Structure 1
């Protein structure tokens, strides 16, 4: 889950924000002597963070696609005669051209499975993501000042924290819950038809949806909950919820168990319940200390990615574009 930072004193001091202003605009002021609402809250930038997030998400997505294409080309070149010209169709994710088939049939060799990524590829991404979150949490615990760079404050933070806040966590329970959920849902999702074991595709999906979820949390500080502009947020749950949403759309009848509840429920029903809970927290239960906007945006992005066949409409075009540009630059 994405949560609000509990120990905010040093964070506010860095951005010259008075904690009294936060309590004055909170639904739960510290006492009757504190005004319930401030006449004016700090402004929140919209255009800059929005453009930054869209650019960053696109760059991450295209970068992962380019990495995978370059990897596929390297494998294919190692198994073909030197100097053989390669087109994108030769390394396409869904087919192998008859020309490559004829080359390998003449050699009497088994056709290499260069198109399907080994499942260890996605396994490395899952393990690496968890390791990165653990490492950053340990570093921030050892050097608290690093925490400024892994939490996003809508009214004061730089744009880059919209990305880095995905790797910050407020405590061991927060970290453990997010990583357990990510590990549980990312493994079966990686084997689905959408991702086909591609670690690069999974990384592109997780990171780009996480950035967009952070943007949603940022914009929620304008509407419907202006108090959020004074509350730093952090956590991996925007991307994790995207993974959960994609899982639910891919395996709608898969049973999902909930901690401390001895029964399981179909994934599609759990998705609907989570969406209602997050919508309630965002628009009605504003006292709840969770990043409901990020959760809801991640859930919607993940569900839409599978429903609208993001692998065909986004990933394949991104791979083709990356291949064409790298070929033009003579990188492949």
Structure 2
């Protein structure tokens, strides 16, 4: 049994390695006739299991991040209020804890406490930690090649957890460098927006949940419109990064965005529209373009919708309120 599993992992990694090497190649991959002969031998791509797993995992991550921030906010208030003071959600709702401490210390003419400084820099820690995690996983997969099996999602495979872990796998230095450059550049101004207000927990919930939904979209695209994708492992942070780009464009529509190797900038909304058209073309028409078009398009749509429909008010605050009351029942806060 163990030998069979090892053999399957080796075969998978061989396919993954070939796909990764050809990711930026100039010739089409896979070849048409070969794929036509290979597809009937593959198991059908599952729909219900991966969809339920992804929705459950994304919800758990979102609620978990909300609970973490609620616990932090309650801890800050308990340090500043008299012992035994009852804390309701209204005391920490809508990030009131930050403004409350700011106003208190501005009146006293003193500097902000270290614990608040750590809270305000939580988004910076999230950005740095995400980049470090991607770099570390890339190095580990190069040192132990079989680890690549756990950080790439094969639509025709049986694993669901790779819908999440594939967000941290990359095919090469070019793939990794481009994703992390875009993530770092767009996430910093987005973290300071009214939607996220410097909250690292909120940013983590948004990035991880939209990244998983983008992975699911790439998985479902192997059923339609491009069945060839079921034999190509998908990996990379680009789904979550595109969600960040979409949220950035909706938050700062007139902000100039430069394109690599082009010495001019364009308004963010124009760039979003152009990127969406390119991804739609690649997904439905130019199927020879071997990129994660479904993941990119889904991430872009999710990020744009999150800001447009005020996800901070309609999703994040209700999630915080729900977790506060649940934690209060369990006497965790």
State the TM-score bracket (shorter-chain normalisation): 0.7 to 0.9
| Partner residue in 1 for 2:90 | 89
Instruction: Tell me: CA distance 1:286–1:6, structure 2 relative to 1, closer, same or farther (3 Å).
Output: farther
- Residues 19 and 232, structure 2, Cα contact 8 Å, conserved in 1: no
- Cα drift, residue 83 of structure 1: 1.1
CA distance in 1, matches of 2:185, 2:5: 24
| Partner residue in 2 for 1:151 | 152
**What are the superposed Cα offsets for residues 206-234 of structure 1, whole Å, 9 maximum, x if unpaired?**
00000000000000000001111111110
Instruction: Tell me: CA distance 1:262–1:42, structure 2 relative to 1, closer, same or farther (3 Å).
Output: same
**What are the superposed Cα offsets for residues 18-38 of structure 1, whole Å, 9 maximum, x if unpaired?**
999999999867597996685
Instruction: Tell me: CA distance 1:284–1:86, structure 2 relative to 1, closer, same or farther (3 Å).
Output: same
CA distance in 2, matches of 1:193, 1:331: 29
- Residues 12 and 18, structure 1, Cα contact 8 Å, conserved in 2: no
- 5+ residue gaps, structure 2: none
**What are the superposed Cα offsets for residues 6-54 of structure 1, whole Å, 9 maximum, x if unpaired?**
9998316799999999999998675979966855653011000000000
- Residues 42 and 229, structure 1, Cα contact 8 Å, conserved in 2: no
Instruction: Tell me: CA distance 1:33–1:92, structure 2 relative to 1, closer, same or farther (3 Å).
Output: closer
CA distance in 2, matches of 1:39, 1:226: 11
CA distance in 1, matches of 2:267, 2:43: 43
CA distance in 2, matches of 1:7, 1:262: 47
- Residues 150 and 162, structure 2, Cα contact 8 Å, conserved in 1: yes
CA distance in 2, matches of 1:101, 1:288: 51
- Cα drift, residue 318 of structure 1: 0.4
CA distance in 2, matches of 1:139, 1:149: 11
Instruction: Tell me: CA distance 1:233–1:103, structure 2 relative to 1, closer, same or farther (3 Å).
Output: closer
Instruction: Tell me: CA distance 1:138–1:95, structure 2 relative to 1, closer, same or farther (3 Å).
Output: closer
**What are the superposed Cα offsets for residues 276-321 of structure 1, whole Å, 9 maximum, x if unpaired?**
0000000001111100000000000000000000000000000000
- Residues 93 and 116, structure 1, Cα contact 8 Å, conserved in 2: no
Moved more, 194-203 or 2-11: 2-11
- 5+ residue gaps, structure 1: none
Q: Match of 1:158, SS?
A: coil
Instruction: Tell me: CA distance 1:331–1:263, structure 2 relative to 1, closer, same or farther (3 Å).
Output: same
- Cα drift, residue 273 of structure 1: 0.3
- Residues 213 and 238, structure 1, Cα contact 8 Å, conserved in 2: yes
Instruction: Tell me: CA distance 1:153–1:201, structure 2 relative to 1, closer, same or farther (3 Å).
Output: same
Aligned length: 332
Instruction: Tell me: CA distance 1:226–1:170, structure 2 relative to 1, closer, same or farther (3 Å).
Output: same
Instruction: Tell me: CA distance 1:126–1:152, structure 2 relative to 1, closer, same or farther (3 Å).
Output: same
CA distance in 2, matches of 1:236, 1:3: 31
- Residues 210 and 239, structure 1, Cα contact 8 Å, conserved in 2: yes
- Residues 22 and 29, structure 2, Cα contact 8 Å, conserved in 1: no
- Cα drift, residue 257 of structure 1: 0.3
Q: Match of 1:95, SS?
A: helix
Q: Match of 1:262, SS?
A: strand
- Cα drift, residue 120 of structure 1: 1.2
- Residues 4 and 289, structure 1, Cα contact 8 Å, conserved in 2: no
- Cα drift, residue 93 of structure 1: 2.0
- Cα drift, residue 92 of structure 1: 1.4
| Partner residue in 2 for 1:136 | 137
CA distance in 1, matches of 2:102, 2:18: 66
Instruction: Supply the RMSD in Å over aligned alpha carbons.
Output: 5.6
Instruction: Tell me: CA distance 1:24–1:273, structure 2 relative to 1, closer, same or farther (3 Å).
Output: closer
Instruction: Give the TM-score taking structure 1 as reference length.
Output: 0.87
Q: Match of 2:118, SS?
A: coil
Instruction: Tell me: CA distance 1:278–1:2, structure 2 relative to 1, closer, same or farther (3 Å).
Output: farther
- Whichever structure has more helix as a proportion of its residues is 2
- Cα drift, residue 153 of structure 1: 0.2
